[in-house]
Amino acid sequence: MDKETLGISLTYEQSPIELVGQGGGATGVAALAIMAAVAVPQYQEYMIRAEVKRSLDALEPVKAAVAERRLATGKFPASNKAAGLDAPEALGNDDLGSIEVGTGGEITAQFDATAPHKANAKLEGGILVLSPVVEGKEVTWRCSAEGIEPKYVPEACREEPLEP
């Protein structure tokens, strides 16, 4: 090594708890600080991703209603009412302020952090967009997100929205 390089080597022959205990108070505090600096942001990102996934799961009944209407009538509903659903604000959950069916059966769900909703502030105003695609006698869905960082959205939902 040269004079400007500092090297630190730790071995794990003992448990990390024993390593902290033997190093004294300052070493223990430093080790905990490093672990917290890595773990806390990762946990926060995990919780936001889980919130997005939970919200996508909450859209399943809406997707089913739109698909059933399409299969029954040959046309996609253009509104919640046409799909046999409640008003957009009535369909929301803890994280979503509204779920709306639009032209061509497209479903948009908007995150809301204003009480009584509890969406994470990083999701506030973000929108999940589910666009139906007819494949034979089956309706499948394309998913995209607007106003949400891609790292919070499932990979299958990182597509560009369909053009109208």
Q: Please write the tens of the pLDDT for every residue from 127-149.
A: 999 999 998 889 999 999 999 99
Whether the per-residue pLDDT at 124 is higher than 60: the answer is: yes
Instruction: Report which of residues 68 and 24 the model is more confident about.
Output: 68
Strands 96-101, 138-146: pairing is unpaired
Q: Regarding predicted confidence, which is higher, 14 or 156? A: 156
Structural domains of the chain, ranges and CATH numbers in brackets: 16-157 (3.30.700.10)
The rounded mean pLDDT for the chain is 83
Please tell me the distance from the alpha carbon of residue 139 to that of residue 30, in angstroms, as a whole number. 55
Q: What is the pLDDT of residue 9?
A: 58
Per-residue model confidence (pLDDT) at position 3: 54
